[in-house]
Structure 1
Amino acid sequence: MYRPPRPLWKRILRAALSVLLLVALLFVGYVAYLLIDYHRIPDAIALDVADKTDARVRTGEEYTLLSYNIGFAAYTPDFGFFMDGGAESRAASEASVRANMADILAYLPAENDDFLMLEEVDLSATRTYGVDERGLLIDGLSAYSSVYALNYDSSYLFYPFHRPHGKTKSGLLTFSKYHIASSERRSLPVEQSLMKFFDLDRAYTVTRLPAEDGRELVLYTVHLSAYTSDGTVATKQLEMLLSDMQAEYEKGNYAVAGGDFNKDLLGDSAAIFGISGEGQTWAQPIPPEAFDGVDIRLAAPFDPDHPVPSCRNADGPYTPSQFVLTVDGFLLSP
């Protein structure tokens, strides 16, 4: 029996509906993947320490510490990060990552610090083309004892759509010229809304170095949240860290935290550096009351005669008019 062909408009409509159905199924499938695959790294994980020395820290000596968020070796002057309003979700290329790592590995030994606290060190990530930055740093600083902890192990982030950020394993790397007895990864409170897929997991490491006086120097390498919709998350993270440090101090130990706090550590960087921070709500000052009831104090790097920021808002390539501030610093017990 002869059947006349369907009208062209019906065929187009059917094809369009099929495409829409396929897109909807892919979207639902991807959301299901994110929800099923989402996990947090367990709390209180004992970390493997690569110890190179028996030398103990001593009281009465002066030591130097360096805190450095290496930005997964992607932040060249023309880099703008998509989470800050920029265009890039990955480093420019594998060659760019390796070139930046070479510069970092030239800089760190020249500083010759006793302790190094590094953040955003990728172990394996789409955004850095699988380059093992942890391995490069450990090999390049082989005279130091070291310990590494994953900060986050994320699902594949299919955004931005034109060049997805992908899957990321990135973490915190601590180096010491002195004997490390042990180290532990502590999980921080994190966002519970959909922002948890963007801000990812958060943690700090607790690294113990025996001192010659029988006490311990306890180093905390820290990277607090930046991309949260609930401001109380960052407050809870800081409260946990300060409480932990205070407990160590009350035991008689020396507690030092260094890292990227994603806070305006100078209180008003816009006034200090002369560039408006209007609309930049992601980095607020630490409220003074955060230190109520604890003996821990903030040490922010600041030279009033020659102030230098530690961070720029990466909403595009660097320009002199870009908002800058200091988010990197230290917390110290007496």
Structure 2
Amino acid sequence: METTKKKGLRPWRELSGLRKVLRVLWIFVLAVLAATALLFGYLTATEFKPAAKENLGVTSGTDAINKVDQGKELSILTWNIGYGALGDNADFFMDGGKSVKTADEKRVMENMKGISEEVSAIDPDFAFFQEVDRDSHRSSGIDEARLIRNGRSNGDSTFAYNFRVKFIPYPVPPIGKVNSGILTSSDYKIQNSVRRQLYCPFKWPVSLGNLKRCLMVDRVKINGSSKELVLINLHLEAYDSGTGKIKQTKMLRDVMDKERAKGNYVIAGGDFNQCFSEADVTAFKQYPGTWKPGVLDYSQFKGYRLLMDNSDPSCRSLDRAFKGADPDKFQYYSIDGFIVSDNVTVNSVKTQNLSFKNSDHNPVVMKFVLN
């Protein structure tokens, strides 16, 4: 009898044990949901929400020239520096690679040193930089804007954030904190600088961990003229369905039109994440499974010159590291360049082939004259 009673109790004990397991699992699920809700609440409360138009400060150099001369050949560089962490060793998960943090502090400093040395060797009158980090986990907290400014301390510079997130929780390991933007450097005095917010194609909650892209519009005075040289630094959408690029490009055109209507000289440049429709990019075969850029139609910019140099690629894919790969079987792009108003004479545009040693982009240099 006693043995039978003990056997009869076993199902109840097993059921009680199962209930305990389920209770623990339920508590765990609730804890995960609560932590997720807290994280999204925190990111929502701290989301970077720039105004449509913001005045920016100008960092004055030690010996900036007051005004630019008409009829004198000038040079301008644009370079997406890949936040100092996308050298020839890097691949990146959003381009089909596997890596999230692509460089340690030593490699970031090595890349930034190489970038600064190359800019010094080119010695442009003006320079547009994109993906310039300041206190980001992915670039070991290094203030890259300070490093660039130190290398060009004679002139003026401006900086606009386009990516500020307290913590990006994806993938595994997470991207973490990001503070990044675009920087313009000038041998000439920058009179004022304005940040113009561009259309953001991403909705909540995706927008919490995404860029808030912008145009940075700087003005330089011209000798003997009431007109101005207007410099527009940009970095347009990359990973959207295409709507973002289209709307951002239209806003760029509107801003340029207003300046040109005033008689100003207008130069827009940067990483368009698009190839220009009349540029011959057949040399850069599109491989299956790799990121494909959009196309910016020339007809959208009648009265302007759209300038890219396809003799060498301005960008490479990050689906794998460049170092050690067969360069003849790699995905390349031409997506960096300039758009200039019809009162600017362009003498040359050249992509500097640096074999992507310190960035996934090569710099592009344009020489021009204000008519």
TM-score, normalisation: structure 2: 0.81
Partner of 1:41: 50
Contact 1:299 1:330 in 2 (8 A): yes
Partner of 1:13: 22
Q: In structure 2, what residue type is equivalent to 1:332?
A: V
Q: CA RMSD in A?
A: 2.1
Match of 2:313 among 295, 309, 321: 309
Equivalent residues, number: 323
Partner of 2:182: 172
Is 1:224 matched up with 2:232?
no
Instruction: Provide the rounded CA distance (Å) in 1 between the counterparts of 2:89 and 2:156.
Output: 34
Q: Quote how far apart the aligned CAs of 1:94 are.
A: 1.2
Match of 1:50 among 55, 59, 62: 59
Contact 1:263 1:286 in 2 (8 A): yes
Q: Higher mean Cα deviation, 309-318 or 19-28?
A: 19-28
Partner of 2:306: 298
Contact 2:91 2:102 in 1 (8 A): no
Q: Using a 3 Å threshold, how does the CA distance of structure 1 residues 63 and 207 change in structure 2: closer, same or farther?
A: same
Q: Quote how far apart the aligned CAs of 1:315 are.
A: 1.6
Q: In structure 2, what residue type is equivalent to 1:141?
A: R
Q: Higher mean Cα deviation, 18-27 or 110-119?
A: 18-27
Instruction: Provide the rounded CA distance (Å) in 2 between the counterparts of 1:28 and 1:15.
Output: 20
Is 1:333 matched up with 2:341?
yes
Q: In structure 2, what residue type is equivalent to 1:313?
A: S
Structure whose residues are more often strand by fraction: 2
Partner of 2:330: 322
Residues 105-129 of structure 1 deviation map (CA, whole Å, 9 limit, x = unaligned): 1111011111110011111211112
Q: Quote how far apart the aligned CAs of 1:279 are.
A: 4.8
Which structure 1 residue ranges, 5 or more long, are not aligned? Answer: none
- Structure with the larger RCO, 1 or 2 (CA within 8 Å, 6+ apart): 2
Partner of 1:80: 91
Q: Quote how far apart the aligned CAs of 1:37 are.
A: 2.6
Residues 168-209 of structure 1 deviation map (CA, whole Å, 9 limit, x = unaligned): 111111111112111111111111324424442101111100
**2:229 is paired with a residue of what secondary structure?**
strand
Is 1:244 matched up with 2:276?
no
Partner of 2:150: 139
Instruction: Provide the rounded CA distance (Å) in 1 between the counterparts of 2:101 and 2:280.
Output: 28
Structure with bigger gyration radius: 2
Instruction: Provide the rounded CA distance (Å) in 1 between the counterparts of 2:154 and 2:130.
Output: 20
Instruction: Provide the rounded CA distance (Å) in 1 between the counterparts of 2:330 and 2:263.
Output: 44
Which structure 2 residue ranges, 5 or more long, are not aligned? Answer: 1-8, 343-371
Q: Quote how far apart the aligned CAs of 1:234 are.
A: 0.9
- Give percent identity, aligned residues only: 33
Contact 2:96 2:290 in 1 (8 A): no
Match of 2:245 among 234, 239, 242: 234
Q: In structure 2, what residue type is equivalent to 1:26?
A: A
